[in-house]
Chains A and B, each alone.
Chain A
Amino acid sequence: MAKLIARPATDGLLPIEIGKAILEDAQPQAITWVAPFNRKKSAVSKTLGGFPGPGEVVEVKAGRALSVGPGQAMILGAPLDCEGAAVADQSDAWTVVALEGAAARDVLARVTPLDLRDAVFPEGGTARTLVGHMTASLTRVGPFRFEIMVFRSMTQTLIHELERAMKHVDARTKL
């Protein structure tokens, strides 16, 4: 039988550094979607070590839990299972990249309709939104660091869109 070689979706494409922004791979070990059944939310929250409300990020036992929809979280970190919830392994379905640097927010502002100002999208905030024409999950993990998650099949499109925006922001600073 053929021996398959595991390769990250961003293999050979990242990192990219342009001006005051760097784009790099940020794929976690596993990505798990968790949606507690009716009246099971507090039990699930206890098992996991927390459960994020709308727009929230919570550090849980397995890693970082992002709110991704009504009653739904995506947990980035170690693989997990959980009683009382619908659980689906999404590890190979999404690509996670990180955009960091003083220009990171200006770069993102070119590709997403989300309000990225500190008061609206502070560190520790997360949102489902658009990046270009793709639905994406955006999380602000540091003052100058954002994690962007899209469907794995759209990895090259995401990198293309972000690289273009990075070039354009950098070009303007050199005028």
Chain B
Amino acid sequence: MRLTCPHCGDRDLREFTYKGDALALLRPDETANPQEWVDYVHNRDNPAGTTSELWYHGPCGSWLVAVRDTTTHVTHRTLSLAEAGK
């Protein structure tokens, strides 16, 4: 598997670390109710199909969002956090 770092370009998986679902970027605002916080902190979908994930490129320190398919292992696109709106 290869991923595209927003700074370094196309690189081998060994250079990256998985950092969880990209849902972590969608932090609820201060008016959110307890259920919304429970969902944000604990609950994750486990889709057979398209998923958005956070990855970290250790060598240069860049974070990215990878949109990929868990059934085909195709990476549809990778975005820097700036492009992902964060």
Contacts and interface: CB of A to CB of B under 8 A. Distances in A.
Contacts, number: 37
B8 A54 contact: yes
B9 A69 contact: no
Contacts of B39: none
A115 B59 CA distance: 15
Q: How large is the interface on B (under 10, 10 to 19, 20 to 34, 35 or more residues)?
A: 10 to 19
B59 A135 contact: yes
Interface string B39-65: 000000000000000000011111000
A68 B14 contact: no
Given A113-B12, A114-B12, A130-B14, A135 B62 contact: no
A135 B60 CA distance: 9
Contacts of B12: 113-114
A127 B60 CA distance: 9
A130 B58 CA distance: 9
B59 A70 contact: no
Interface string A146-161: 0000000000000000
B11 A113 contact: yes
Interface of A: 54-55, 68-70, 113-115, 127-130, 135-136
Closest 5 CB pairs of A and B: A128-B59, A113-B12, A69-B60, A128-B60, A113-B14
